[in-house]
Structure 1
Amino acid sequence: MSNLKLDFISIGGNRHPSAADWDSGGSGLLAFGAANNIALWNPSDGDYQGIKALLSGHTKAVNAVKFFSSGNPNSTVILSGSGDKTLRIWRSDLNSSTSFELVKTITDHQSSITCISTFHGSTLFASGAADGEIKVWKVTEDASPTEINVELLQSIALSPRYFPLSLALAKLDESSLVLAAAGTRSTIQIYVSQNARFNLAATLTGHKGWIRSLDFVRESATNDSDLLLASASQDKYIRLWRVHPGEELPAVSSAINDPALGVLGKGLSNKAHRIESAASKYSITYEALLLGHEDWIYTVSWRHKKGKLQLLSTSEDNSLAIWERDTISGVWVCITRLGEISAQKGSTTATGSAGGFWIGLWALDGQSVVSLGRTGSWRLWTYQPSEDVWVQQVAITGHVDGVKGICWAKDGSYLLSTSSDQTTRLFAQWRRGSKRSWHEFSRPQIHGYDLNCIDSVSPFRFISGADEKLLRVFDEPRGVAGLLNRLCGIRTSSTQSLPDAANIPVLGLSNKAIQAVDDDEPVVNDEEGERDAVDPASVMRKSTLDFNHPPFEDHLARHLLWPETEKLYGHGYEISAVATSKGGDLVATACRASSLDHAVIRLYETKEWREIGPPLRAHSLTVTSLEFSEDDHYLLSVGRDRQWAVFQRKTGSVTEYKLAASNPKGHSRMILDGSWAPTEPGRIFATAGRDKAVRIWQLSGSAAISKTSISANAAATAVSFLKRVIQNNLILAYGTEEGRIVICGLSSSDIEKSELCIIEQKLSPMKAINQLAWRPSYKETISQDTDASHESGIQQLAVASDDSSVRIFRLHDLPTPQ
C-alpha cells in the first residue's frame, strides 16, 4: 500500500550474547535478533526514530547476527543464524540502507545456530551450532546485484563434543587465518588454516566454567604485532591470551605477579602452546586475568583508542566495564563501570534489578557503547571528552514475548500493551518542536503471571487480566502524569488525587502507592518498633523524574509503575477477555472455560467495583473476545464454541444486560475476535474465525443477518472496525494467524460491496496477529492544532503480534468500494 507508513515498531532484543552486531562498515546500523526477526536500529539517530525495520524470514528465535564485509561499498550484508537451523544472508537495497532483501538461505546445519564469526576483509565466515559442528564458508558476489554465492569449505566436528557458544576469526599471517572456538566446556580450541583447511593446533585451559565470548585484536596498528585473544567465562573472569610470532617466547606478563590476584595467582600457568602456519611458527601464552565482575560474563569486545587498547565486557552482575592496561604496572584495570551498582539491585525488575547485561558493543568511532539487558531493552552511553564521563542516552525498549493485548487510552492520547513477558507498557509520542517520535514512557505493571488482556477505563485508569484468575485495576500516578504532560502534551487529571509513584514490595505482586520525598529529606522507618533499614525501592526522590527526554530503562523498571487500586475476583480460571464500556462505567470479563459454569461473562461497575447481577450465560467454552457497542446498548461476545452472542441493555437500566441474539453456528470453527461498527449505519458487527473467514452481521430484532463474508488466507485471529464512517464507508481491519493484515472498505449503504488492501508482507509480522486497535481521535494540548495523525482522513492502527512486536501504522486514502 503506497498510502501506508509504519510509524513505530517496538520489540525487545533476544537474550543471546551473539544476537547483535554494530556495523563497522559505516552504515551506523545496529542489527539484533528480536524473536524470529532481525531488528535494525541506528543508535546515533538524532531524531530518535527507533527501529527502522524488521527483517522477517526465520521461523524461530534469532541467536546470531553479524555484519559481513562483502567488499561492495554500495551494499551492506547481514548474516543471521536461528533456532530454525538455518543461516540466512541479507543484502541492503541499493536505494535504501535499511531495506534488506533475503538473498540466500543455508540449511546445512542439523541443529540450532549458536554463533557466527566474520573477519573484516576476508571472504570467509564461520558458524557454530548445537549439533556440535563448526562450518567454514566462503562468500562470493555474483555479477548480478541480487546474487550471493556461498560455498561450504569445511565442517569441523568438535572433539570432545560440545556446543560452540562463541567463535573468533583473525588473520595470523598472509597465508593463514586463526579460529578460536569455545562454548559448553572450560577450554578454548585454536584452529589454524593451512591449504584452505582449519586444523586443531592448541587447546587453552584455565577457565572453570562455560566460555561465552571470544574476541581477537592486534596489539598495535601494525599487522606484524602480536594478536591478543580475550575470553569471557561463566567463572566470572576474563582471560587474555597472547599469540606471538617466532620460536622465542614473549616477555612474561607482570600480571601474573599482581598482588591483587591473591591466592588465584598461584594457579595461573604461563605454559606456551606452539602453533604454526605454512609460513611461520607462533606461541600462545596466558597474558592476564581480569577480575572485577561478580557474576557470569557474557561478552567481551576490543577497540583501539588513541594508541591504547580497551576491552568492553558485560556481565550478569548488571554492569558494563571498560578495561585498560596500566602503562606503569602493565596490569589490566577497570577504568569505567556503567550500569547498576549492587546496592540498587532488587529481587525483581520493579525494584531495580536489570537481570544482567547480555550484549555489549562499541560504536565504530568508539565514542558510544550499547548493552542489552534481561528485559529486552537497550541502554546507550556516549563519551563526553570535555567532562571525561559516559552519559546515558535515549535508547529503545520492547516486549520479549508475544504481545497478547493492546488498547488506546479512551481519549487516544497513548497506547497500552500487555504481554506474556508479564509486563504492561505505555507508549506515547515525544513532542519537541516539529519533531515527533514514539517511545515507552511507563511500565505500569510488572507481574508474576503472563498477561492476557487489557482495556482502558478512562484516560487515567486501565484494567488487565492475567493467568492468575483475577483482574487488576491501575491508576496513573502523578509522576507519570507530569512526564506525559511535559513531554507528550497529554493532559493530566484535575479531578483525581493521584499518588506520586508506586513500587512492588519484595515477594509481592501488587503495586503499592508511595510518596515522593525531597532530595534532602532523610528517609526513616515510620513503623513503630521497626529497626530495619528502609528499602531504597520504597522511596522516590522528587527529582527522579525531572528530565526532558523519554525515560531510560532504569526509570521504567523502577520508578514508572502505576499503583494498583482494585482487584476483581469471581472467575475460576485464567482471564481470557476484558472490555470496558465506552462511558467507562462498566467492565465485562471472561475466563478460560471448558464447561457452561465457567464460560460466563461477569459485569462490574467501576465506582465501587462491585459485580452486577448474575453472570451472563450463552457460551459453553472459553469466551475469546468482548466488546461494547459505541453507545453501550449492546455487548458482543465470541467464543471457542463457534458461537457469537449479543447482550442488550435492559430498558431503564444502565448496568443490566440480557441475551438479545446468538448464533451457535456463527462460524464452522472457533471464533477468535469480534468488533462493532459505528452506530450510524445500523447495528453491524464483524466476527473473525479459525475457518479463515471474517463475517459481517447486521442485528435485526432477536436475530442477526449475515451480510457478507470475507475470505482470509489463514485463520482470522483479530478484527477491528474504525469507529468513524469515512466518506459513507466503514473501515475494517483484520489480521491472520500468519501475520497478514488486511484493510477493508465496506459501503455502509451496501455492506456486500467491499474493497481490500493488504499491508505488504515486509511490514507485517511473521506470527499471529493477536489484536488490532484503531486510534480514537486525539487532540494535543500543547498547541491548538489537531494531531497530524487525524488530519484529512489519516488514521493510525496499532497491531499486537505473537512475534513480540507492537506496531503503529499510519494510513491515509483508505480503501473505498466503487
Structure 2
Amino acid sequence: MADMVENRYLSAGANRYAAAADWSEDGLVAFGSDANVCLWDPTDSRGISHILGGHTAHVRAVKFLPRDEGDKVVHLVTGGDDKQLRLWAVDSETGSAACVQTVQEHTEPINCIAAFRGAASGNAARRIFVTGGADATVRVWALEAGQITPLQTIKTTKKYMPLTIALSALEEGNGLILAVAGTTNAVQIFTASATDGTSGVDFTLQATLPGHENWIRSLDFLPEKPDQGSDVLLASASQDKYIRLWRIHQGTALSALNATGLDLSADALTPGNKIHKIMAGATKYCIMFEALLLGHEDWIYSARWCRAADGRLRLLSASADNSLSLWESDPESGIWITVARLGEISREKGATTATGSIGGFWTGLWSPSGNTVITLGRTGSWRRWDYDAADDAWKQTFAISGHTRAVTGISWSRDGVYLLSTSSDQTTRLHAEWALDAANNSWHEMSRPQIHGYDLNCISALGPSSFVSGADEKLMRVFTEPKAVARMLSRLTNTAPPSSETEAALPDAANMPVLGLSNKAVDTIPDDADLPPTDSPEQVDPATLVRTSALDTLTHPPLEESLSRHTLWPETEKLYGHGYELSCLAASHDGALIASACRASSLNHAVIRLFETRRWTELRPPLQAHTLTVARVRFSADDRFLVSVGRDRGWVVWERNREEKDGGYGYGLVQANGKGHARMILDAAWAPPPVGGGGVRVFATAGRDKLVKVWVRKAGDEGRQFELGKAITEEHPVTALDFVPEVTGEGSLLLAVGTEAGKLSVLTLRVEGGEVQVLSTLVVKKELCLPKAVMQLAWRPAREGRKGRELAIAGEDGSLRIYAFPSL
C-alpha cells in the first residue's frame, strides 16, 4: 500500500556552502539541503525530483564521480557536519538513488570534495577522489567495484582548515596534481606519480603558491587545450575579492616562459610571479602566476572552468557582491576580461536584506553544455540563466526555491488553490500549481507574502485573500492579497479571477520600509514613468518601487527578484495581547474568529485569546484552563468546538456560545482532561462533523508518549463528555495529526500521522458508538519519509474533478512536501 503514494511537490532551500552543489554530466544537479541531498533537473519544470535522507547534520560537500560509458549508475559522494562520507548510486534514467556505503574517517565536518577518474587498469576503471575536512586533513579515496576505500591521509602542514580542493591529471602517465587551500592565504600543491594499478597513490607536497591576502574559497583545474601535453590552468578565488590564475607547464622554467611569451628579464621575475618547480614522478613541471582577475566588490565564493563548444575557456565566478561574472581571455591581447555580468545591479540592492540584497551568491555552476549557469543566494533559492545565441545574451528564467530552516506552519487556502507555509527562516511563502497545459501541471513558489525580522511560528488562512501569522514576537499580523498577486495567481493557476468589486478593494502591491517589519500598501507606477535623477533630493530606491507590469506580464512562475520584492502582501492589522512569543494560532472556518496562544510557564500567560475579525478586537476574558504553553488550537469543521492541547499534558474542549458577544461568538469550557497523555501533547485534530449536526463527535491527540489517542463523545450524551475510544501506539513520539475533512463513502475516517522520526502513515478508522476500530494503516515508504520531525500535516480541501487526496507535510528539515494518495 505504500506504493500508492505519489510525490507531487518537493520544496527545499539549499545549504549556503560553496561546495554543497554539483552538476553531473547527465544534467542532474545535486545539492545539500539541511541534512538532505536534493536531486533536480533544471530542464524539468517540476523542480526537485528526489530528496535523499541519511545524513544526520548539514550537508556541506556534494560531488558526482564521472561514470564509465554505458554505465547506467552514477555515483554521488556527499559529506557534512556529521563527519560521514556517503556514497550514493543514482540511476541516470529514473533519477532515483540509494545510499550504498557510509564511511566515517574524518573526525570533524567534511568541507569539500574533489574528483578525478583515472586511467583503466586491467579490466577495471579506477576512480580517485579527495576530501578535505575541518580536522585539518585531506583524505584520498578510490572507488572500485561500487565501494570506496581510503588510500592516503594528508595532514596540512600549516594546520589550516581545508575549504576547497581541486584534482587533475598531468600529462598521461605522469600522475596527478592536487591543490589544497582554505583558512590560509596560500595554495598548497601536491603531486602523485601513480594514476592506476593497485599500489595506491602517494601525494607529496611540492610547492606553496603565495599571493592571496585572505582565505581561499575555491580552486579549479582545467587543461588549457583538450590535446595531450597541454598546459593545465588553476583558478584560485579568495575572500580578498580577487581571482588568481596559475599555469602548470611540463618542462623547465625557461621553456615555460618561452611558451607564454613573457618577459625574460631578471627585473620581471618578482616574488609575485615567481616560478615554482615541482616533480611528478620523474617528470619536471613548473607553476607560474598567469593573471589577476579584478572586478568583484566582495568575497568570491567559487570559480569554475568550462570549455565552450568552440574550444574557448570560460571561467564563472560567484561573489558575495550579488553577481556572477563570466570571464574569457581576449584572443589578441590575452588579457582576461568580463564578457558577461549576471545578478544584482548595485543601485537596486534595496534598503534591507529582506527586500533587496540577497546576501551574495554562494556558488556558481555550469551546465554540461556550458549554455546554462545557476547560482545560489542567501534565501536558499536558485537562479538560472540560459544563453540565447540569437541575441548573444544570457537570459534569466525561473528555477526552484525553498525554506532554509524548519517549516513551522502550513495552511491551505479555503478553496485549496494555494498553500501557505511559514518557517524559522523568517519568511512566509505561497505555493500553487502552475497550469502549464492539460497534461503538465507543476508546483512552484508563486509569492513571498511576508519577509520578517523574527522567526515565524504559525499561520492560518482567513479567507480567499488574507491570512494571519504569528512569530517570536508578542503580536499577530494580518495580511491581504494585493491585486498584482491575485491577477498573477488567477492566470498561472487557470482559476477564476477575483470579481471586479473584490479586486477594486485590494491594494495594488506592497513593500517594506527601511528597517521596518510591516509591509505597507503602495501604488504601482507606470512602466514609462520617469524616476528623479540620481543626484536629486527626491531620488528613491528603485527596489522599493513596483512597476505595473512587474507581475501582469508573467507567463511563468516569478523569478527570485520578483518573489522577494514584488509579491509581498500588505499588512492590514496587528493583534496585541500576548506577553510572550506566539506558539500557535488558528482561524475559524467561517473566518470570523482567530484563536491564539503564546509560550507560557505560568497560569497568567497559558491562556487562549480570541479575536473577532470584523473590528479586530479581542473577546474577553481569555480562555483559561492550561497551566503551561498551549502547543496547538484547532476549530472543528463547523466551528462549534475548539480543542487546545499543550505542554501540561492535558487537552481542553471549548464550545461556542449561542449568543453573539462583542461582535463575535465566544467559547465556554466543556471538558478539561489534565492527564490526557503521560507526556506533553503536541497536536490535535477534529474528525469531520456528523451529517446533520448530531451524532458522534471525534477528535485525536498526539503525544510525546508515542501515542495517538482518539476521543469520542457519543450521540445524545447529555454529560457532553469525551471518552477515550482508542489508543494507538507508534514507534516514536507523535508530532502531527490531521483528519481528511470528509467521511469516506464507506463511513470511515482517514487520519494522517507524523512522528518525530519523520515517519508518515494514514490510518483508516471506523467509529461505532463509543468504539474506535483501526481498519487499516497505510505506511508511507521510507524513501518518502522525512529525516527529522514532521512539524505539521494538512490535507488539501477536495476540489471538483480531482480524484484522491493530497497531503501537505511541513518538516523540521526545512522541506515542504505534497504527497498524493490516489486511492483515498
- Asked if Structure 1 and Structure 2 have the same fold, meaning a TM-score greater than 0.5 normalized by the shorter chain, the answer is yes
User: 1:721 is matched with which residue?
Assistant: 739
Aligned residue for 1:395, secondary structure, equals: coil
Task: Pick one of 35, 51, 56 that aligns with 2:53.
Answer: 56
Q: Does residue 1:551 correspond to 2:548, yes or no?
A: no
CA distance in 2, matches of 1:255, 1:743: 72
User: 1:620 is matched with which residue?
Assistant: 627
Aligned-pair identity in percent equals 49
CA distance in 1, matches of 2:398, 2:317: 21
Q: Deviations over 1:702-729 (max 9, x none)?
A: 4211000111110000011111001211
User: 2:123 is matched with which residue?
Assistant: none
CA distance in 2, matches of 1:382, 1:628: 48
| Match runs of 1:372-411 below 5 Å | 372-411=376-415
Q: Does residue 1:517 correspond to 2:525, yes or no?
A: yes
Deviation at 1:93, TM superposition (A): 4.2
Asked if 2 retains the 8 angstrom alpha-carbon contact of 1:401 and 1:803, the reply is yes
Amino acid at match of 1:286: F
Deviation at 1:432, TM superposition (A): 2.1
CA distance in 2, matches of 1:119, 1:614: 69
User: 2:73 is matched with which residue?
Assistant: 75
Aligned residue for 1:343, secondary structure, equals: helix
User: 2:222 is matched with which residue?
Assistant: 217
User: 1:502 is matched with which residue?
Assistant: 510
Instruction: Report the TM-score when normalising by structure 1.
Output: 0.93
User: 1:34 is matched with which residue?
Assistant: 33
Deviation at 1:652, TM superposition (A): 2.5
Q: Does residue 1:770 correspond to 2:791, yes or no?
A: yes
Deviation at 1:73, TM superposition (A): 1.5
- In structure 2, stretches of 5+ residues that fail to align are 119-125, 195-200
Deviation at 1:411, TM superposition (A): 1.3
| Match runs of 1:398-437 below 5 Å | 398-434=402-438, 435-437=440-442
| Match runs of 1:167-186 below 5 Å | 167-173=165-171, 174-186=173-185
Asked if 2 retains the 8 angstrom alpha-carbon contact of 1:255 and 1:330, the reply is no
Q: Deviations over 1:350-394 (max 9, x none)?
A: 432111111111111111111111110001111111110111112
Deviation at 1:613, TM superposition (A): 1.6
Asked if 1 retains the 8 angstrom alpha-carbon contact of 2:117 and 2:128, the reply is no
How many residue pairs were aligned?
A: 781
Task: Pick one of 712, 721, 727 that aligns with 1:703.
Answer: 721
CA distance in 1, matches of 2:761, 2:94: 27
Aligned residue for 1:650, secondary structure, equals: strand
Task: Pick one of 584, 591, 610 that aligns with 1:577.
Answer: 584
Aligned residue for 1:753, secondary structure, equals: strand
Q: Deviations over 1:312-353 (max 9, x none)?
A: 110000001100001111110000011011011124344321
CA distance in 1, matches of 2:293, 2:262: 11
Aligned residue for 2:3, secondary structure, equals: coil
Task: Pick one of 259, 263, 269 that aligns with 2:272.
Answer: 269
Deviation at 1:278, TM superposition (A): 1.4
Asked if 1 retains the 8 angstrom alpha-carbon contact of 2:348 and 2:541, the reply is no
Aligned residue for 2:773, secondary structure, equals: coil
Asked if 2 retains the 8 angstrom alpha-carbon contact of 1:460 and 1:493, the reply is no
Asked if 2 retains the 8 angstrom alpha-carbon contact of 1:255 and 1:331, the reply is no
Asked if 2 retains the 8 angstrom alpha-carbon contact of 1:662 and 1:703, the reply is no
Amino acid at match of 1:656: G
More displaced 10-residue stretch of structure 1: 797-806 or 389-398: 389-398
User: 1:137 is matched with which residue?
Assistant: 141
Deviation at 1:252, TM superposition (A): 7.7
Aligned residue for 1:438, secondary structure, equals: strand
User: 2:121 is matched with which residue?
Assistant: none
Q: Does residue 1:803 correspond to 2:801, yes or no?
A: no
| Match runs of 1:590-605 below 5 Å | 590-605=597-612
Task: Pick one of 679, 682, 685 that aligns with 2:689.
Answer: 679
Deviation at 1:221, TM superposition (A): 1.1
Asked if 1 retains the 8 angstrom alpha-carbon contact of 2:347 and 2:541, the reply is no
CA distance in 1, matches of 2:738, 2:269: 69
User: 1:542 is matched with which residue?
Assistant: 548
Deviation at 1:523, TM superposition (A): 4.1
Instruction: Report the TM-score when normalising by structure 2.
Output: 0.93
Deviation at 1:266, TM superposition (A): 12
Q: Does residue 1:9 correspond to 2:10, yes or no?
A: yes
Amino acid at match of 2:631: T
Asked if 2 retains the 8 angstrom alpha-carbon contact of 1:181 and 1:189, the reply is yes
| Match runs of 1:77-92 below 5 Å | 77-92=75-90
Q: Does residue 1:736 correspond to 2:739, yes or no?
A: no
CA distance in 1, matches of 2:765, 2:355: 49
Q: Cα–Cα, structure 1 residues 767 and 431, in superposed 2: closer, same or farther, change >3 Å?
A: same
CA distance in 2, matches of 1:255, 1:461: 68
Q: Does residue 1:531 correspond to 2:532, yes or no?
A: no
CA distance in 2, matches of 1:109, 1:535: 48
User: 1:288 is matched with which residue?
Assistant: 291
Amino acid at match of 1:334: T
Q: Cα–Cα, structure 1 residues 223 and 209, in superposed 2: closer, same or farther, change >3 Å?
A: same
Deviation at 1:656, TM superposition (A): 1.1
Runs in 1 of length 4+ with deviation above 6 angstroms?
252-257, 265-268
Q: Does residue 1:279 correspond to 2:282, yes or no?
A: yes
User: 1:23 is matched with which residue?
Assistant: 24
Aligned residue for 1:295, secondary structure, equals: coil
Task: Pick one of 735, 749, 754 that aligns with 2:775.
Answer: 754
Aligned residue for 2:257, secondary structure, equals: coil
User: 2:198 is matched with which residue?
Assistant: none
CA distance in 1, matches of 2:325, 2:809: 38
Aligned residue for 2:203, secondary structure, equals: strand
User: 1:343 is matched with which residue?
Assistant: 347
Structure 1 vs Structure 2 CA RMSD: 1.8
Q: Deviations over 1:476-517 (max 9, x none)?
A: 000100100111123343344111111111110000111111
Q: Cα–Cα, structure 1 residues 566 and 500, in superposed 2: closer, same or farther, change >3 Å?
A: same
More displaced 10-residue stretch of structure 1: 445-454 or 740-749: 740-749
Amino acid at match of 1:408: W
Asked if 2 retains the 8 angstrom alpha-carbon contact of 1:349 and 1:557, the reply is no
CA distance in 2, matches of 1:444, 1:21: 31
